[in-house]
Amino acid sequence: MRHVIALDVGGTGMKAALVGADGALLHQARRPTGRERGPDAVVAGILGFADELRAHGIRRLGEPASAAGVAVPGIVDESEGTAVYAANLGWRDVPLRALLTERLGGVPVALGHDVRTGGLAEGRIGAGRGADRFLFVPLGTGIAGAIGIDGRVEAGAHGFAGEIGHIVVRPGGAPCPCGQRGCLERYASAAAVSEAWAAACGDAGADAADCATAVESGDTRARQVWQEAVDALADGLVTALTLLDPRTLIIGGGLAEAGETLFTPLREAVRRRVTFQKLPSLVPAALGDTAGCLGAGLLAWDLIDTTDPAEVTA
């Protein structure tokens, strides 16, 4: 059965699948990234995992994979197939596409940025399906973005397109590791909400999920922390929609798991801020933590162009 390899490499874990031409997940697997062993060991782990997936395909499906797609974090040169830099993995200028192509016996390999790859999946087969223009914004430890245009995701001239987390929403505010002050992700990421709520409630172990629960129970301190995050997020999103005019705005990541506790006030906050702009649909992501892996599969199928990627379903 014809299939491709899909790999989503994260800071702590790797998700993988063998994906059929109709989008069926023929095999799924997960394992730790092993970053504590150093960048060389991480690369070796990726190559070994991909080789195991290739062997599984031969053994169970009767033939090797036709292509492979890999999503990785950090700075990615997709055209050159190079993982340029990832702070959480410790690597620099890794020719990952070439290494994987050699390891997998010469099959074509696509390398993508994790957020843009997840955005590709959300746009084609997830919450943005059918939208010609969308913006995918996952709210996790940080905040990133993927700009979707007619079934593809725009990387930008230098691979930095979509970095909405570093829009300055509070000038002169909290310092950000990027070198600026007042960046969106310092106020509206899951990590930022966790930090603010832990300080407000006096429990160092409290996190954003605890804050959302406290909001639902009517805690006034939690509501203040939550509203400050929502207001900052709305400011950043309105800046983005002013520039990009998306038809659909997809919010994902850990903070989005709060459901309407987030989406109801966020929709209202965005609505209050727009003037001449056209208000987009603001919806939760649909694919959860499988988006990166599904997107990597789409990248792989795009390489061999044997099926219409828009028809691939989750």
Nearest Cα to Cα of residue 41 among 89, 76, 88, 112: 89
- Angle (nearest 5°) at CA 239 between 235 and 245: 130
Written out in words, the top-level CATH class of the domain with range 3-117+289-311 is: alpha beta
pLDDT of residue 23: 79
Q: Are 15 and 8 in contact (CB under 8 A)?
A: yes
Q: Is 271 helix (H, G, I), strand (E, B) or coil?
A: helix
One-letter amino acid at 9 equals V
d(CA 301, CA 296): 9
Token pair recorded at residue 19: 């994906």
Q: Which CATH superfamily is domain 129-285 in?
A: ATPase, nucleotide binding domain (3.30.420.40)
pTM (2 d.p.): 0.88
- Taking phi over 0 as left and psi of -120 to 50 as alpha, with beta for the rest, 202 belongs to left
Q: Where in the chain is the domain with CATH 3.30.420.40?
A: 3-117+289-311, 129-285
Residue 274 exposed, middle or buried by CB count within 10 Å (0-12, 13-18, 19+): middle
Can you give the pLDDT of all 314 residues of the chain as single tens digits? 899 999 999 888 999 999 998 878 899 999 999 989 999 999 999 999 999 999 999 999 999 999 999 999 988 999 999 999 888 899 999 999 999 999 999 999 999 999 999 999 999 999 999 999 999 999 998 999 999 999 899 999 888 899 999 999 999 999 998 899 999 999 999 999 999 999 999 999 999 999 999 999 999 999 999 999 999 999 999 999 999 999 999 999 999 999 999 999 999 999 999 999 999 999 999 999 889 999 999 999 999 874 444 444 44
